[in-house]
Structure 1
Protein backbone atom coordinates (compact mmCIF):
# COMPACT_ATOMS: atom_id res chain seq x y z
CA UNK A 1 0.00 0.00 0.00
CA UNK A 2 2.84 2.42 0.85
CA UNK A 3 4.45 1.70 -2.52
CA UNK A 4 1.22 2.54 -4.30
CA UNK A 5 0.98 5.88 -2.45
CA UNK A 6 4.60 6.71 -3.32
CA UNK A 7 3.97 5.93 -6.99
CA UNK A 8 0.83 8.07 -6.98
CA UNK A 9 2.68 10.98 -5.36
CA UNK A 10 5.57 10.62 -7.82
CA UNK A 11 3.19 10.68 -10.79
CA UNK A 12 1.34 13.67 -9.38
CA UNK A 13 4.64 15.51 -8.94
CA UNK A 14 5.68 14.77 -12.51
CA UNK A 15 2.36 16.02 -13.87
CA UNK A 16 2.65 19.19 -11.79
CA UNK A 17 6.21 19.86 -12.95
CA UNK A 18 5.29 19.20 -16.58
CA UNK A 19 2.33 21.56 -16.45
CA UNK A 20 4.43 24.33 -14.91
CA UNK A 21 7.22 23.94 -17.44
CA UNK A 22 4.80 24.32 -20.35
CA UNK A 23 3.70 27.71 -19.07
CA UNK A 24 7.04 29.24 -20.04
CA UNK A 25 6.32 28.46 -23.70
CA UNK A 26 2.89 30.04 -23.73
CA UNK A 27 2.41 33.68 -24.63
CA UNK A 28 1.68 35.95 -21.71
CA UNK A 29 -0.27 38.39 -23.82
CA UNK A 30 -3.60 40.04 -23.25
CA UNK A 31 -6.60 38.54 -25.01
CA UNK A 32 -8.95 41.11 -26.54
CA UNK A 33 -12.59 40.21 -27.10
CA UNK A 34 -14.05 41.25 -30.44
CA UNK A 35 -16.58 43.36 -28.55
CA UNK A 36 -13.71 45.31 -26.93
CA UNK A 37 -11.74 45.87 -30.15
CA UNK A 38 -12.94 49.44 -30.80
CA UNK A 39 -12.20 50.48 -27.22
CA UNK A 40 -8.70 48.94 -27.33
CA UNK A 41 -8.02 50.60 -30.67
CA UNK A 42 -9.10 54.04 -29.39
CA UNK A 43 -6.98 53.66 -26.23
CA UNK A 44 -3.79 52.69 -28.13
CA UNK A 45 -2.71 55.39 -30.57
CA UNK A 46 0.28 53.30 -31.62
CA UNK A 47 -1.76 50.12 -32.23
CA UNK A 48 -0.69 48.08 -35.25
CA UNK A 49 -3.08 45.37 -36.43
CA UNK A 50 -1.22 42.32 -37.74
CA UNK A 51 -3.01 39.68 -39.77
CA UNK A 52 -0.82 36.56 -39.60
CA UNK A 53 -2.94 34.50 -42.02
CA UNK A 54 -2.00 33.54 -45.57
CA UNK A 55 -2.30 36.03 -48.46
CA UNK A 56 -5.25 34.02 -49.77
CA UNK A 57 -7.10 34.31 -46.46
CA UNK A 58 -6.24 38.00 -46.27
CA UNK A 59 -7.66 38.66 -49.75
CA UNK A 60 -10.97 37.06 -48.73
CA UNK A 61 -11.44 39.78 -46.12
CA UNK A 62 -9.44 41.42 -43.35
CA UNK A 63 -9.83 43.97 -40.58
CA UNK A 64 -9.47 47.58 -41.73
CA UNK A 65 -5.87 48.86 -41.64
CA UNK A 66 -4.48 45.37 -40.94
CA UNK A 67 -0.98 44.59 -42.17
CA UNK A 68 -0.42 41.12 -43.58
CA UNK A 69 2.60 39.22 -42.30
CA UNK A 70 2.05 35.56 -43.15
CA UNK A 71 3.09 33.42 -40.17
CA UNK A 72 3.54 30.45 -42.51
CA UNK A 73 5.74 32.45 -44.90
CA UNK A 74 9.50 31.97 -45.13
CA UNK A 75 9.98 35.69 -44.51
CA UNK A 76 7.89 35.97 -41.33
CA UNK A 77 10.82 36.44 -38.96
CA UNK A 78 12.62 38.96 -41.19
CA UNK A 79 9.44 41.02 -41.55
CA UNK A 80 8.81 40.95 -37.80
CA UNK A 81 12.41 42.01 -37.10
CA UNK A 82 11.75 45.24 -39.02
CA UNK A 83 8.82 46.26 -36.82
CA UNK A 84 9.04 48.93 -34.12
CA UNK A 85 9.19 47.10 -30.77
CA UNK A 86 7.85 50.13 -28.89
CA UNK A 87 4.43 49.88 -30.55
CA UNK A 88 1.45 47.79 -29.48
CA UNK A 89 0.50 44.94 -31.81
CA UNK A 90 -2.86 43.24 -32.07
CA UNK A 91 -2.47 39.88 -33.81
CA UNK A 92 -5.18 37.80 -35.39
CA UNK A 93 -5.46 34.73 -37.60
CA UNK A 94 -8.42 32.54 -38.52
CA UNK A 95 -9.18 31.03 -35.10
CA UNK A 96 -6.29 31.80 -32.74
CA UNK A 97 -3.59 29.15 -33.18
CA UNK A 98 -1.20 31.01 -35.48
CA UNK A 99 -1.57 34.30 -33.63
CA UNK A 100 -0.56 32.54 -30.40
CA UNK A 101 2.53 31.03 -32.04
CA UNK A 102 3.41 34.32 -33.72
CA UNK A 103 3.15 36.16 -30.40
CA UNK A 104 5.48 33.68 -28.72
CA UNK A 105 8.01 34.25 -31.45
CA UNK A 106 7.61 38.02 -31.19
CA UNK A 107 8.05 37.91 -27.41
CA UNK A 108 11.30 35.99 -27.87
CA UNK A 109 12.45 38.81 -30.15
CA UNK A 110 11.80 41.47 -27.50
CA UNK A 111 8.26 42.66 -28.27
CA UNK A 112 6.41 43.47 -25.06
CA UNK A 113 3.06 44.94 -26.10
CA UNK A 114 1.17 42.18 -27.87
CA UNK A 115 -2.58 41.71 -27.89
CA UNK A 116 -4.44 38.72 -29.32
CA UNK A 117 -7.90 38.88 -30.85
CA UNK A 118 -9.97 36.27 -29.04
CA UNK A 119 -11.11 33.66 -31.57
CA UNK A 120 -9.44 35.44 -34.47
CA UNK A 121 -11.27 36.21 -37.69
CA UNK A 122 -13.84 33.49 -36.98
CA UNK A 123 -15.06 35.42 -33.92
CA UNK A 124 -14.80 38.74 -35.77
CA UNK A 125 -17.13 37.50 -38.50
CA UNK A 126 -19.49 35.82 -35.99
CA UNK A 127 -19.97 39.25 -34.34
CA UNK A 128 -20.89 40.75 -37.72
CA UNK A 129 -17.86 43.04 -37.80
CA UNK A 130 -16.90 44.61 -41.14
CA UNK A 131 -14.03 43.45 -43.32
CA UNK A 132 -12.16 44.96 -46.24
CA UNK A 133 -10.88 43.23 -49.33
Structure 2
Protein backbone atom coordinates (compact mmCIF):
# COMPACT_ATOMS: atom_id res chain seq x y z
CA UNK A 1 0.00 0.00 0.00
CA UNK A 2 2.88 2.37 0.81
CA UNK A 3 4.30 1.72 -2.66
CA UNK A 4 0.97 2.66 -4.24
CA UNK A 5 0.80 5.87 -2.23
CA UNK A 6 4.37 6.70 -3.24
CA UNK A 7 3.57 5.95 -6.89
CA UNK A 8 0.41 8.09 -6.67
CA UNK A 9 2.41 10.98 -5.21
CA UNK A 10 5.06 10.65 -7.90
CA UNK A 11 2.47 10.60 -10.69
CA UNK A 12 0.69 13.60 -9.25
CA UNK A 13 3.95 15.54 -9.06
CA UNK A 14 5.11 14.44 -12.53
CA UNK A 15 1.83 15.01 -14.32
CA UNK A 16 0.23 17.60 -12.07
CA UNK A 17 -3.16 16.36 -13.28
CA UNK A 18 -6.05 14.93 -11.28
CA UNK A 19 -6.58 12.15 -13.84
CA UNK A 20 -3.29 10.61 -12.76
CA UNK A 21 -4.72 10.09 -9.29
CA UNK A 22 -6.94 7.16 -10.30
CA UNK A 23 -4.84 4.02 -10.04
CA UNK A 24 -6.93 1.69 -12.20
CA UNK A 25 -4.20 0.44 -14.51
CA UNK A 26 -4.95 -2.62 -16.57
CA UNK A 27 -2.03 -4.89 -17.28
CA UNK A 28 -2.38 -7.65 -19.80
CA UNK A 29 -0.48 -10.94 -19.47
CA UNK A 30 2.33 -9.53 -21.63
CA UNK A 31 2.84 -6.62 -19.15
CA UNK A 32 1.35 -3.98 -21.46
CA UNK A 33 -0.67 -1.48 -19.45
CA UNK A 34 -3.15 1.33 -19.88
CA UNK A 35 -5.45 3.16 -17.50
CA UNK A 36 -9.24 2.84 -17.45
CA UNK A 37 -10.98 6.09 -16.51
CA UNK A 38 -14.49 6.96 -15.42
CA UNK A 39 -16.38 9.58 -17.43
CA UNK A 40 -15.47 12.35 -14.98
CA UNK A 41 -11.78 11.42 -14.98
CA UNK A 42 -11.82 11.13 -18.78
CA UNK A 43 -13.33 14.62 -19.01
CA UNK A 44 -10.59 15.98 -16.74
CA UNK A 45 -8.00 14.26 -18.90
CA UNK A 46 -9.39 15.92 -22.03
CA UNK A 47 -8.82 19.36 -20.45
CA UNK A 48 -5.14 18.69 -21.17
CA UNK A 49 -4.63 20.01 -24.71
CA UNK A 50 -1.70 17.65 -25.32
CA UNK A 51 -3.97 14.59 -25.16
CA UNK A 52 -4.74 12.89 -28.47
CA UNK A 53 -8.38 11.78 -28.44
CA UNK A 54 -9.10 8.70 -30.57
CA UNK A 55 -12.50 7.20 -31.35
CA UNK A 56 -11.83 3.61 -32.40
CA UNK A 57 -15.35 2.86 -33.68
CA UNK A 58 -16.38 2.49 -37.30
CA UNK A 59 -16.71 5.62 -39.47
CA UNK A 60 -20.52 5.15 -39.49
CA UNK A 61 -20.63 5.09 -35.67
CA UNK A 62 -18.33 8.12 -35.54
CA UNK A 63 -20.57 10.08 -37.95
CA UNK A 64 -23.62 9.24 -35.83
CA UNK A 65 -22.03 11.09 -32.88
CA UNK A 66 -18.66 11.43 -31.17
CA UNK A 67 -16.78 13.36 -28.51
CA UNK A 68 -15.71 16.76 -29.88
CA UNK A 69 -12.17 16.94 -31.32
CA UNK A 70 -11.87 13.15 -31.59
CA UNK A 71 -9.95 11.57 -34.45
CA UNK A 72 -11.56 8.44 -35.90
CA UNK A 73 -9.18 5.47 -36.26
CA UNK A 74 -11.22 2.25 -36.52
CA UNK A 75 -9.53 -0.50 -34.49
CA UNK A 76 -11.10 -3.16 -36.74
CA UNK A 77 -9.60 -1.56 -39.85
CA UNK A 78 -6.81 -3.58 -41.48
CA UNK A 79 -4.60 -0.47 -41.46
CA UNK A 80 -5.12 0.35 -37.77
CA UNK A 81 -1.45 -0.13 -36.86
CA UNK A 82 -0.36 1.92 -39.86
CA UNK A 83 -2.86 4.66 -39.00
CA UNK A 84 -1.69 5.00 -35.39
CA UNK A 85 1.78 5.80 -36.66
CA UNK A 86 0.41 9.29 -37.37
CA UNK A 87 0.07 9.84 -33.60
CA UNK A 88 2.75 11.52 -31.50
CA UNK A 89 4.17 8.90 -29.09
CA UNK A 90 5.38 11.63 -26.72
CA UNK A 91 1.79 12.73 -26.04
CA UNK A 92 -0.85 10.80 -24.08
CA UNK A 93 -3.65 9.06 -25.98
CA UNK A 94 -7.27 8.84 -24.81
CA UNK A 95 -9.33 6.13 -26.52
CA UNK A 96 -12.97 5.20 -26.53
CA UNK A 97 -15.46 3.05 -28.42
CA UNK A 98 -19.16 2.30 -27.93
CA UNK A 99 -18.96 0.24 -24.73
CA UNK A 100 -15.26 -0.09 -23.89
CA UNK A 101 -14.47 -3.47 -25.47
CA UNK A 102 -12.83 -2.34 -28.72
CA UNK A 103 -11.07 0.55 -27.01
CA UNK A 104 -9.39 -1.89 -24.60
CA UNK A 105 -8.08 -3.79 -27.62
CA UNK A 106 -6.85 -0.52 -29.15
CA UNK A 107 -5.37 0.59 -25.82
CA UNK A 108 -3.29 -2.61 -25.61
CA UNK A 109 -2.01 -2.11 -29.16
CA UNK A 110 -1.13 1.52 -28.47
CA UNK A 111 0.57 0.65 -25.18
CA UNK A 112 2.61 -2.01 -26.99
CA UNK A 113 3.86 0.79 -29.25
CA UNK A 114 4.98 2.80 -26.23
CA UNK A 115 2.06 5.21 -25.90
CA UNK A 116 0.72 6.33 -22.51
CA UNK A 117 -2.94 5.31 -22.92
CA UNK A 118 -6.17 6.15 -21.11
CA UNK A 119 -9.41 4.30 -21.89
CA UNK A 120 -12.97 5.53 -21.31
CA UNK A 121 -14.06 2.59 -19.17
CA UNK A 122 -17.67 2.14 -20.28
CA UNK A 123 -17.31 3.79 -23.65
CA UNK A 124 -19.37 6.37 -25.50
CA UNK A 125 -22.57 4.89 -24.07
CA UNK A 126 -21.56 6.38 -20.71
CA UNK A 127 -20.71 9.81 -22.17
CA UNK A 128 -23.16 12.59 -21.18
CA UNK A 129 -25.56 13.51 -23.98
CA UNK A 130 -25.57 17.18 -25.00
Same fold flag (TM > 0.5): yes
Structure 2 partner of 1:19: none
More helix by share: 1
Is 1:33 aligned to 2:38, yes or no?
yes
Structure 2 vs 1, CA of residues 49 and 23 (structure 1 numbering), >3 Å: closer, same or farther? closer
Structure 2 partner of 1:103: 107
Aligned-residue Cα RMSD (Å) equals 1.8
- Counterparts of 1:23 and 1:99, CA distance in 2: 14
Structure 2 vs 1, CA of residues 121 and 65 (structure 1 numbering), >3 Å: closer, same or farther? same
Q: Deviations over 1:67-117 (max 9, x none)?
A: 000011111110112211001111000111111111111122221x11000
Displacement of 1:27: 4.9
Structure 1 spans left out of the alignment, 5+ residues: 1-21
Higher RCO (C-alpha 8 Å, min separation 6): 1
- Counterparts of 1:32 and 1:23, CA distance in 2: 17
User: Matches of residues 1-133 of structure 1 in structure 2 within 5 Å?
Assistant: 23-25=28-30, 27-42=32-47, 44-111=48-115, 113-124=116-127, 128-130=128-130
| Structure 1 length-normalised TM | 0.71
2:75 is paired with a residue whose SS is coil
2:74 is paired with a residue whose SS is coil
Displacement of 1:25: 4.1
Size of the alignment, in residue pairs?
Answer: 104
Higher-Rg structure is: 1
